[in-house]
Structure 1
Amino acid sequence: MSDGPPPVSPPAARRSELRLRVLSAVLLVPAALAVTALGGVWFALGAGACALILLREWILIVRAQDEILASAIAYASVVGAAVAAAAGEIGAGFALLLVSAVGLALFRSVKRHKQTLWLAAGIVYSGSSGAVLIALRDGSSGLAVIVFLFGVVWATDIIAYFVGRRVGGPKLWVRVSPKKTWSGALGGFAAAVAVGWIGFLLTGRASPGVWLAFAAVLSVFSQVGDLFESALKRHFGVKDSGHIIPGHGGVMDRLDGLVGAAVLGYAVAVLLTGSAGDPVGQIITMRGY
């Protein structure tokens, strides 16, 4: 009687995982760029759908799938925030997310449903992700902003992965993400700065220091987003947020860096301009970029 196929060796498993990653990227990257180029309702639908999937994966990670009413409120809030952002009313979208999250948090304190508080946090995480991406794309320099954001996040993620595996060295934060290294983080940061330099060369607008600074800050925010998701999964003992993308896990596993860069970058722009309406476009206009 056969004992079955021999176990897959670690190097072979890594090669198989890499092939799946490359194949998934070949399919997903052109689709993301196409939707970004189309903009308008198509980008809003894409960003809104991603936000809903992020919420679904969040619910599964925090084990809140039995909270039927709270989950329904969460889904409705995320959709409402995306619609508000698409209509140019992102402030109203943020208000809806905040009211829903606070309402669920208060409900948790009364009913003592321990997962409802985590679900409230998921509303803010997923809802703000979709709303911010839609608002950035609809801004006066929306296409350039989103493409630059993609370039920085993808460069950070890809180069950090390969440099970390090749160079290794001291771990970045063992308790949260045992595989991430300082070499990978610095390699990803350097790659993002290179994207900033390419942006300057392609456009000739602003000074190279501006491009490099923007790329550097977004790269850091991207890695913060990655670590945040790792911490969430580590807390709940989950390896992947899902299995929807071959070789990558769930949508949250692929968008954690983008969420960090987009949401935190948008927050900084709002703080600098004092306005939630196209803050990045306002910075570009005010500074003459």
Structure 2
Amino acid sequence: MSIFKEHSERIVTGLALLAVVLIIGFIDNFFLMWLALGGVYILAFNEAVKLFGVEKDGLLIYAIGIWLVAGVYPYGDDLFVLAGVAYASAVAYNKELPWNDFLPFVYPTAGMLFILTMYQEYGVVSLLWLLAIVALTDIGAYAVGKSIGKTPFSPTSPKKTMEGVVGGVTVATFGGLFFGLSIVDFTVAFFISFFVAVVSVFGDLFESSLKRAAGVKDSGSILPGHGGILDRIDGYLFGAIIMLILLRGLV
């Protein structure tokens, strides 16, 4: 009860988000999923623009354009590479263009495109698997870290402990197995769950490093108790890339 009172706003927001995600997943319609992920992407893109300190206006139009193409092009993750080639060509032509303006097209763009592509190739169950792994990593790390955590994990995130990280990865690896077995065999499910859990930790660290560099506590304030969209999806952005690559390579 004390934990609920201390984090009531965060818990209520988290439950509301979970309900929305489960409803969208239950409907399992590509257009609805594309629309929902697109909304998340645009909000996250705006937050990334601020964190990276990008001053150029109008980048959102390009982000919207990329997502519109992803709705009809079957290999959405390729669009990230194509965007990189296009911008590199533009920089080669006009040396006044700063590379910093391209950073929001790497993060969160790459992760969101991989999430959409994973849904197209492996179905809604793969997204549920990803959701379970990252959520269990967070929950396990918090529970273990609060109870026995003593050893600092990284200066980037002082509250994280080595014990918490190990506990979170362990919980997520074994918990993720139950979701992964509907797609792959035991060994592959274990392997993927473990590596996605580990990478999600560093996804969280990466976003923390961006916030530290920008001098802000949260990436935004749209989610009561959680902060911004990037604060909520940071682990998924890294985890989705690794999961899709491993699924393609091992299945």
TM range (shorter): 0.7 to 0.9
Residues 17 and 247 in structure 1, CA contact (< 8 A), matched pair in contact too: no
The residue aligned with 1:7 is: none
1:249-260 to 2 correspondences below 5 Å? 249-260=227-238
1:14-53 to 2 correspondences below 5 Å? 17-37=6-26, 38-53=28-43
Counterpart of 2:37 in 1: which secondary structure?
helix
Residues 153 and 258 in structure 1, CA contact (< 8 A), matched pair in contact too: yes
Instruction: State which of 38, 47, 64 in structure 2 corresponds to 1:79.
Output: 64
| Closer, same or farther: CA 185–101 of 1 in aligned 2, 3 Å | farther
1:1-289 to 2 correspondences below 5 Å? 17-37=6-26, 38-64=28-54, 66-68=55-57, 72=58, 74-87=59-72, 88-90=74-76, 93-102=79-88, 109-110=95-96, 116-139=98-121, 141-174=122-155, 176-199=156-179, 203=182, 206-269=184-247, 272=249, 283-284=250-251
Q: Which has the larger displacement, 54-63 or 99-108? A: 99-108
Greater relative contact order, per chain length (Cα 8 Å cut-off, separation 6+)? 2
Counterpart of 1:110 in 2: which secondary structure?
coil
Q: Distance in 2 between matches of 1:102 and 1:183?
A: 42
What is the aligned length? Answer: 248
Q: Distance in 2 between matches of 1:186 and 1:257?
A: 16
Q: Which runs of 4+ in 1 moved over 6 A?
A: none
TM-score w.r.t. length of structure 1: 0.77
| Closer, same or farther: CA 199–119 of 1 in aligned 2, 3 Å | same
Q: Distance in 2 between matches of 1:81 and 1:248?
A: 27
Structure 1 alignment gaps of length 5 or more: 1-11, 273-282, 285-289
Counterpart of 2:226 in 1: which secondary structure?
coil
**CA shift at 1:95, angstroms?**
4.0
**CA shift at 1:123, angstroms?**
1.2
| Closer, same or farther: CA 233–99 of 1 in aligned 2, 3 Å | same
TM-score w.r.t. length of structure 2: 0.88
